[in-house]
Amino acid sequence: MTKIKDVTTYLETIAPLSLQEKYDNCGLLTGDGQQTITGVLLTLDCTEAVVEEALDTQCNLIIAHHPIIFNGLKKITGKTYVERTVIKAIRNQIAIYAIHTNLDNVLTGVNNRFAQHLGLKNIRILSHKPGMLRKLVSFVPPTHQAQVLEAVFQAGAGKIGNYSGCSFTTTGMGSFTPNASAHPTIGQANQPETVEESRIEVLVPASKQQPVLAALKKAHPYEEVAYYLQPLENEHQGIGAGLVGELPEPLSTGQFLAHLKKSLQLELIKYTPAYSGKVHAVALCGGAGSFLLPSARAAGADAYVSADFKYHEYFDAENKLMICDIGHYESEVGTKDLLYDILSKKFSSFALNLSKIDTNPISYFK
Ligand SMILES: [Zn+2]
C-alpha cells in the first residue's frame, strides 16, 4: 500500500523543496500524506475541472506543476476559482501536491523535457542557482577512511557532473586531549594524544547537507567528529534556471521556427524577426522566462525560447538573438509526461493518469 507521503518524498529526492524560489509554494497543499493512494492524476494546473476528473477516475492525489494556492488564502468561501478548487479537494479528501520551481531548477526537470523535444545536445544550465554547494572536510583514522567516504557518498556527497565518488584525501597528524567526561576511541582522559589521521574532502549539495552530516557522524568512529562545512562559490552544474544546448545542425531562422512549431505542436509563435544569423545554440525556459534573456545572450544563444514576454522586452533582443515566445502552457505541458516517466519507473501499485483536460486559459483566434 503506497502512501501519499511515499510519492511526495520520492519526488523531493529529484526536486528538493529547498530548490523552489522564494515566492513559490511547492509541496503538499491539501490532504494527508498518510493516506493510501488510490490513484494519481498528473496535470499542469489544478482547476475545479481537474479535481472533478480526479473524482471520476478514483484518484486521491493530484500532482500539479503550478501551485493552486500561490499567494495565500485569507478566506475560503468559494468566491474565486482557487477557493472553490481547494474546497472541492478538501471535501473529497483529495490531496493536491505542487512541484513547481523546484522542478524548474533541476537539470533533469521541466526544461530537460522541453530541450529533448527540440533535439538539443550538450544541455547545460543557463543560470546557475548560487549557494548550492558546500565543502565538507573531516578527519578520520586511516582505518576508517573507506567506511566514512562510502557513507557520505551514499548520502549524496562527492558528485561532480557525470562523476560520482569524488574525494580528495591527505594524511597528517591530528592532536587532542580528552577530558575526564570523554569516552575516546583512541587515548585516555587528560592525556595529550597525537595520531595519524586522513583529511577527507568532498563536495556536498546544499540540499543533501543534513543526510550527509548524519551519515558522517554515524560512520565516523570518534565520539566527537571533527569536521568543517564551508559554503562555496562554485556553481552546482545540475541546479539553476533555464537550459542551453545546441541543435545537431545550424538552421536558418525560418527552418528553426518551423522545427519549433512542429516539434512542440504549436499553433502560434511570437518572435523577433530582426535576427538574421543561423540558429545553432538555443536557450530555453519553460513558463515566464523573460528574466533569463540576459543569461541567454551571455551564453551566446542564437535563439531564446520561452513565454510571457512583455512588449518592451522583445526590444532587448537587440538583434543579437531571436526571441521565440511560444506560450506558457505550450512550453510546460510536457511536464505531465516527465512526471509520468519519473513515477512509473518507481511505483506500480496505483494507477497513474495524465489529465485529459486542456487547462490552457488562452486560445488563439485565427
Ligand atoms: Zn509555469
Residue 2 has pLDDT above 90, yes or no: yes
**How far apart are the CA of 65 and the centre of ligand 1, in A?**
7
List residues bridging with 182 in a β-sheet.
Answer: none
Helices 110-118 and 253-263 pack at an angle, to 10 degrees, of 120
Cα–Cα distance measured from residue 313 to residue 305, given in angstroms and rounded to the nearest whole number: 13
CB of 201 closer than 8 Å to CB of 139: no
DSSP state string for 296-355: HHHTT-SEEEEE---HHHHHTTTTTSEEEE--HHHHHTTHHHHHHHHHHHH--SSEEEE-
Domain 110-128+241-326 belongs to what topology? 3.40.1390
Which grid cell sits at 73? 488564502
Neighbours of 199 (CB within 10 A): 17
* C-alpha of residue 40 to centroid of ligand 1, in Å: 20
CATH of 133-231, one of 3.30.360.10, 3.30.70.120, 2.40.100.10, 3.40.630.40: 3.30.70.120
Q: Please calculate the CA angle 100-106-107 and round it to the nearest 5 degrees.
A: 135
- 242 CA to middle of ligand 1, Å? 12
CA of 110 to the centre of ligand 1 (A): 10
Q: How far, in Å, from the CA of 85 to the mean position of ligand 1?
A: 18
pLDDT of residue 80: 95
Measured in angstroms, how far is the CA atom of residue 62 from the centroid of ligand 1? 17
Whether pLDDT at 75 is above 90 = yes
- In 3D space, the residue among 224, 313, 233 whose CA is nearest the CA of residue 216 turns out to be 224
pLDDT of residue 276: 87
What local confidence, expressed as pLDDT, does residue 161 receive?
Answer: 85
For residue 150, the SS3 value is helix
Beta bridge partners of 243: 125, 284
- What pLDDT, on the 0 to 100 scale, is given for residue 293? 97
- What average pLDDT does range 71-75 have in this prediction? 92
DSSP per residue over 253-266, as a string? HHHHHHHHHHHTT-
For the chain, give the longest Cα–Cα distance: 86
Q: Domain ranges in the chain?
A: 4-102+334-354, 110-128+241-326, 133-231
Q: Which of 177, 197, 198, 199 is nearest to 188 (CA)?
A: 177
Please tell me whether the overall predicted TM-score, pTM, comes out greater than 0.75 for this model.
yes
Asked if the domains 110-128+241-326 and 133-231 are classified in one and the same CATH topology, the answer is no
Judge contact between 2 and 351, C-beta under 8 A. Answer: no
Which residue from 145, 174, 146, 65 is spatially nearest to 109, judged by alpha carbons? 65
Say how many Å lie between the CA of residue 257 and the centre of ligand 1. Answer: 22
Read off the pLDDT of residues 176-225 as tens digits, 9 standing for 90 and up: 999 999 999 888 999 999 999 999 999 999 999 999 999 999 999 999 99
C-alpha cell at 212: 550527509
Q: What CATH number is given for 4-102+334-354 in this structure?
A: 3.40.1390.30
Q: How far is the CA of 305 from the centre of ligand 1 (A)?
A: 14
* Average pLDDT over every residue of 17-43: 96
Phi, psi of 252, rounded to the nearest 5 degrees: -70, 165
Average predicted confidence (pLDDT) for the chain: 96
The three cell numbers locating residue 74: 485569507
CA of 330 to the centre of ligand 1 (A): 10
CB 109 within 8 A of CB 27: no
- Rounded to the nearest 5 degrees, what angle is found at the Cα of 339, between the Cα atoms of 106 and 156? 40
250-272 pLDDT, tens digit each:
999 999 999 999 999 999 999 99
| pLDDT in the model for residue 225 | 96
pLDDT of residue 185: 87
Dihedral of alpha carbons 322, 100, 358, 311, sign:
negative
Dist. CA 333 → ligand 1 center (Å): 9
